[in-house]
Every structure is written in C-alpha cells, then in structure tokens.
Amino acid sequence: MNMKIKNQWAFAFLLSAAVFFPGKTVAQDNAENAGADEVITDVAKVTAETQYGKVAGYIQKGIYIYKGIPYAKAERFMAPVAPDAWTGVKSTRNYGAVAPHGVRTGWAQDEGAFYFNWDDGWADEAKCLNLNVWTPGLNDGHKRPVIVWFHGGGYAEGSSHEQAGYEGTNISKKGDVVFVSVNHRLNVLGFLDLSAYGDEYKSSGNAGLLDMVEALKWVHNNIANFGGDPSNVTIMGQSGGGGKVYTLCSTPAAKGLIAKAVVESGSGPKVMERKYSQLLAAETLKNLGLQPSDVAKLKTLPYEQLLEAGNKAIATLHQQCAKEGFWAFLIGWSPVVDGNILPHQPMSAETADLNRNIPFVIGTVGNEITGAFNGAFAKDDLTATEYLKKVYGAKADAFIAAGKKAYPQLAVKDLILVDNFFRPCAIEGIQARVAMGGAPVYNYLFTFNPKVMNDAFRCFHCSDIAFGFDNVARYSHNNGGSAAAVRLGSIMSNGVIAFARTGNPNAAGIPQWKPCTAKDINTMIFDTNLRQVTNFDKEMMDILNATPKFSF
C-alpha cells in the first residue's frame, strides 16, 4: 500500500480454591473434568437439516459445529444461484474451500507471521461459496441471536477462518448465540466489472456482493434448524469486512435480512463508481492483449493470469491518479455503484430507507496500521515533530496540542502512531448514521496494547477481534494471553453478546455506554481502564479530516 495515498483467570481461581478449599485431590478434579473437550461425531447426534440436504458436523465443548456448508454456486463473473441439492448426509466437519486470492507474502516476515499466525486453508474457485455454523443446540425451540461474520482483507483477500480470533465456539457457548462465518468470491473473480461488454456481465462487478446476500438468505431460510432466530441477525465485519457491513446494509436485496450491524475498523463506507470500475476492466483486458470482442475468453483464463492482469491494471490506474493529482484509493477491488444491485454509495442519505432502523456499533483500534511504521519515524520527539511539520505544515503545532489533549500520556513520538485514517472514517460513518435518525449508533476505541514482539505492532489493526469473540487465549500470539487481556476479552464479548441480543451493548463489566448524537461522539474506551469519553479527540479529528487520508 502506498502510504502517501490515502483461561488464565479460571486457572488462578482454581488454584486459590485448592488452597482455601483443599478437599479435592488433583485426581478427583481431573476425573470431574474428563470428557469436557470430547469430540462427538455420531451422525445420529450431529445431523442437521438445510433446504438443500442434510449435513453432519461434530460436537465439541457442548457446541455443534458445521464447516464448509454450501450456500450457493456460481459460474465465473455470474450471479450466484442455489447450490446443487444432495442426497444422504454431507460431512461438514472441516473448513471448506476459500476464495482464491493469490499468495500471502506475509509469511516471509517472521514477526508478522508469528503475530497473525494465519490459516490460509485451501482455495477452489468453484467451491468457495460456503459458510460455517456454531450453535449450542439444534431444533430445540430456542430462538437464539445470530451473528454473521464477514472477514477482512478488503474485497481482495482473506477467508472465514484465516485468523484464530474468528473461531465461534467460545462466543456461541458463552452467549447462547449462533455464530456464522462466510466465504465469498474476492478480487477479480468477485468484482471485475465487465458490464460494458454485454448484458450477460451486468452483475460481474458486484458478484462477490451478491454472494454475501445469498449467504444472508441462506441464514434467513435455514438458521432456525440450527437453533437461531432468523429475525435477529447481527452482521459483523472488520476492516474490509466492516466495509462489507456498510455495503450490505445499503443493498436492496439484503433488506429484511439484517437486524443489527457492527463495523470494526471498517475501511470507509465508499466503494467504486462505475466509470472507474469499467476503466479498470478495460485496462485488465489490455494487459491480457484482448479486445472487447474477446471478453468471453476471460471465463476460462487461468485464475493466476487473470489476477495478475487485474492487479497490474489497478497499479497503472493508481499511477495515473497520482500524476493527475486526485485520490486513487477508490480504484481497486470493491463493489460498484451500478444503479441496480447497489444504487448508491453505502451509508449515503439515499440509503436511509434501507438502514436507518438498524442499530450500529462502529469502532476502531488505537494504532491500526500506523503501528507498523514504528521504527520508520518514531525514534524520538524531535524526529517526530519534524515529520509532523512535513505532513501538517502550519497545523503541526495545533495537531501536537490536540493530540496531547486527547492522549496526555503519549509523547510526540508515540502520538504520531495514533490512527489517522480508520477513526476519522468511523466518525464520518457515525455522523451519517445519526443524520438519518432512527436506530442508535454506538462508538468504541480499543486501545489495549499487549506489547508483544517488543511492542513492534502496538495496538494494531485486527487487535480487537479476538476480544469481541472471547478468543483471547485461543489467539494469544496476537494479544499476549495475559490475565489482563483475558479479562478484557470477557468484558468486551459481554458487549457483543448483549448487542446481538438486544441492540444495546451495555453489559456486565462495561460502564454506561451512551449512543452518539449529532453533538457528541460518545466513545467507549476498551482498555485496562475501561471508560466512556465524549468528544475527547474532536480537535485532533478535525485536523485529520482536513488532511488527505493516508497522509502517512
């Protein structure tokens, strides 16, 4: 990315109990807990019904788990359709195929690979339209809240299980909720807009978006069989997944399928306009040496060749934008405002009738991607001050003063690592929601810094995910797994569960959390010092919003 363009508590309790209540021996305690993690695969016990056929998962820790359930199928560039029905019982015990998205280069950076500890899975273009379900019970008459998770990676990469923080067992068990995670088409397969080359391709620029709508339709039609309430579905996503949440809430075909929404570090509500998406398609054809009359050849072209041509086209257009002096961030793989599938930019005033009655939680983390540049320009306050003068010019002193007011504990060299993109975008989204009237919108800022890898990442992009799903211990590479982290994860997941159930995130351990208003951005700070603040960084945000995004 060109940055110039824009259960350790449980163990402690048991240990203290052994001291003060020494009646149990270790052998007795082990006997009582034997089988707590037993895996049950008996088909008679783990079979569930879907509209397309029966599926068999497994039970672990009391949670029924199903992975890789097909929710649709699609030909390349075409809108998704119903998957093929099957007879007998389909085994759904392993994660299904993920959407192709090239080769992850991050493995070459040892510290980053340790920090994220990705699971890249296996890719298959024809089989990637699948989802995963975690539930406490089947056909038991319960109407549990449903959480549907859309992964990050922009619209270009990622998967439903790439991070351990996405796993649904803990949140399902703790909150008595049904958790669903989704795979869908990405990058050139999901968002190459070929609409200029015939009506056959009218949906190609939004194929991946239509996949997500189909997943929500599957949830609506099938989740009652898995103990869920189809009328109480909360969609959640982080980074690009947050953008997907904004977009789905503004997509007419998804109306009535979404009750609540959570955006974590969403990368801004805006998506591509058709004039740019069609330009990108034309450049892709050019890179392949194809004429418009040859567009049908793209259907059978090897994926790697197609992706290379598309990514090269994005790079070329970004260079042109830089020369012509306008912002190129919105040229790339994303849905398209096409006047039909997506009539308007997400969260614009024109979408109010679709989403004004959906309660939202919108939040970010303290450093986001800026933490990755720690060593680049944060050596001392003097170096940092000189850098800020280059970025903000005459407003540098005002920025430092506003930053020290908002974050009095930070030195200037740390102040410049405060997120300068995602929080301003979040506030923009909040203000748009408030202006619509209707359902409340809540804001949070996650600032817990585990100081892993010699504090190389700070409070980094994705840091909050595992906490919201009570997966801190499961994803300890990312958060350190300390007692403080586990406790914060317990509290934050309380808020997620409460919001999914009622539309209000106030819950045990969380101070009074007020929704935002036209006047006040009320922000819940998730850290060891949990608190709500109001307009605490307004002066800083005003300066940032007057500066081109991605100025760092």
Q: Render pLDDT for 329-376 as a digit per residue (tens, 0 to 9).
A: 678 999 999 999 999 999 999 999 999 999 999 999 999 987 666 555
C-alpha to C-alpha distance for 81 and 75, rounded to whole angstroms: 9
Q: What is the pLDDT of residue 9?
A: 27
Q: Report whether 426 contacts 433 (CB < 8 A).
A: no
Q: What is the pLDDT, as a whole number, of residue 453? A: 82
Residue 24: pLDDT above 80?
no
For residue 486, give every residue at least 6 positions away whose Cβ sits within 8 Å of its Cβ, in sequence order, or none: 7, 8, 9, 472, 473
If you average pLDDT over residues 11-26, what whole number do you get? 32
Identify the band that residue 20 occupies on the pLDDT scale cut at 50, 70 and 90: very low
Active-site residue 239, yes or no? Answer: yes
> Are the CB atoms for 510 and 491 separated by under 8 Å?
yes
CB 159 within 8 Å of CB 243: no
Give residue 402's pLDDT band: very low, low, confident or very high (50, 70, 90). very high
Instruction: Tell which wins on pLDDT, 515 or 9.
Output: 515
* Mean pLDDT, residues 67-93: 98
- The answer to whether residue 189 scores a pLDDT higher than 90 is yes
**By mean pLDDT, which of 20-29, 61-70, 160-169 is the weakest?**
20-29
- Tell me which of 159, 181, 203, 239 is the catalytic residue: 239
Q: What is the pLDDT of residues 51-60, one digit of tens each?
A: 999 999 999 9
What are the pLDDT digits (tens) for 142-167? 999 999 999 999 999 999 999 999 99
More confident residue, 311 or 455: 311
Instruction: Assess whether pLDDT exceeds 50 at residue 524.
Output: yes
- Which of 253, 285, 252, 249 has the alpha carbon at shortest distance from 269? 249
User: Sign (positive/negative) of CA torsion 433, 525, 150, 502?
Assistant: negative
For the segment 219-241, the average pLDDT, to the nearest whole number, is 98
Query: What is the pLDDT of the chain when averaged over all its residues?
Result: 90
**Is a pLDDT exceeding 80 seen at residue 552?**
no
pTM of the model: 0.91
| 417 or 507, which is more confident | 507
What pLDDT is stored for residue 296 in this prediction?
97
